[in-house]
């Protein structure tokens, strides 16, 4: 595991959420990033002190970088520059896109009700539905 070379908590402004998680105030959005050489971009942004990386699944469907490339760039860089625990990674659920995928897979024109599934969080090491 990499030794964290950054002491960003000393100089990066952040906010404490009600859950007591700390979220850095400045984030890097990846939706307009080029898909070429994201590994070197990830290294540069993490060395510059970014700790909050924002991704989205829809990114790869329209233009720019695919979420898989973001993941590869981050995991490659984490081995060299920063530990995972020192990052705050966010992503989004695009409900319309998910609905269209569901309709296509079901081969239907519409649903009568589309629900966001039971939101919950498992504790580290817990055995549950998502593991």
Structure tokens at 83: 């530990």
pTM to 2 decimal places: 0.65
Q: How remote is the C-alpha of 46 from its chain's centroid?
A: 14
pLDDT at 108: 94
Q: Do residues 41 and 50 make contact, with C-beta atoms less than 8 angstroms apart? A: no
Per-residue pLDDT of the chain (131 residues; tens, 9 = 90+): 444 444 445 567 899 999 888 899 888 877 766 666 677 777 788 888 888 888 876 544 444 566 777 787 888 887 778 888 888 888 888 888 889 989 999 999 999 989 887 767 667 777 765 54
pLDDT at 46: 83
Q: Do residues 14 and 24 make contact, with C-beta atoms less than 8 angstroms apart? A: yes
pLDDT at 119: 67
pLDDT at 104: 95
Pairing of strands 22-24, 14-16: antiparallel
């Amino acid at each position: 595991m990499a030794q964290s070379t950054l002491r960003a908590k000393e100089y990066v402004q952040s906010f404490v959420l009600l859950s007591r998680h700390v979220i850095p105030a400045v984030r890097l959005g990846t939706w307009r990033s080029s898909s070429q050489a994201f590994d070197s971009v990830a290294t540069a942004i993490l060395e510059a002190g970014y700790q909050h990386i924002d991704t989205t699944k829809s990114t790869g469907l329209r233009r720019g970088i695919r979420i898989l490339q973001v993941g590869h760039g981050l995991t490659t860089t984490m081995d060299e520059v920063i530990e995972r625990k020192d990052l705050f990674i966010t992503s989004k659920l695009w409900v319309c896109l998910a609905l269209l995928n569901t309709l296509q897979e079901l081969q239907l024109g519409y649903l009568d009700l589309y629900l966001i599934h039971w939101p919950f969080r498992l504790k580290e090491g817990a055995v549950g539905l998502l593991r």
